[in-house]
Amino acid sequence: MAGSSDIVIWIPRLRRYARALTGDPAAADDLLQDTLTRAMEKFSLWREGSDLRAWLFTIMHNLFVNGLRNRPTTVPLDEGESLPGHTTATDDSTVNDLVKCLAQLPHEQREIILLVALEDMSYKEAAQVLSIPIGTVMSRLSRGRERLGQLMWGGAARDEAGEVELRVVK
């Protein structure tokens, strides 16, 4: 039987998602704290046997979306900010570019990319967290990846092999 203490194991992933969503460590800590507070207050509403991770991410998502009404539309980024959980030897400038480009995506696309790519959620799990149909997840993910690619490579569209596609202009 799961208890509220099982929430603790999800804190690092919730923190990583909050940092990626907000782009600001202080705002991410606030979002995480609000999420954990809400989860503890409402733990009696969690259904035994359901996905605790999805439930927690849903709480965080709802708090974030509700907070958007009072925030600027762009995500503030510190110079040198890197993706939370980044542990490979990838060039730091590429990671910084990626973070900046992610911040330029509409939050609907950014949150899908973060849930699927960063948090390794399935489309079904992301749909559950965001309370949207799986088709909407796939559509937003596709548009978000396309836009992210355009931002990362200076607006040039890339094909599946990563090669720049040239447009014929008449």
Q: Does domain 4-152 have CATH number 3.40.50.720?
A: no
Residue 165: CB partners within 8 Å, gap ≥ 6?
156, 157, 158, 159
d(CA 23, CA 52): 25
> What residue ranges do the domains of the chain occupy?
4-152
**What is the token pair recorded at 160?**
């599946």
Is 84 in contact with 20 (CB distance < 8 Å)? yes
Task: With H, G, I as helix, E, B as strand and everything else as coil, classify residue 134.
Answer: helix
Q: Low-confidence residues of the chain, pLDDT below 70?
A: 1-4, 68-93, 95, 155-170
pTM: 0.64
Tokens standing for residue 121: 């959620």
> How high is the pLDDT of residue 70?
59
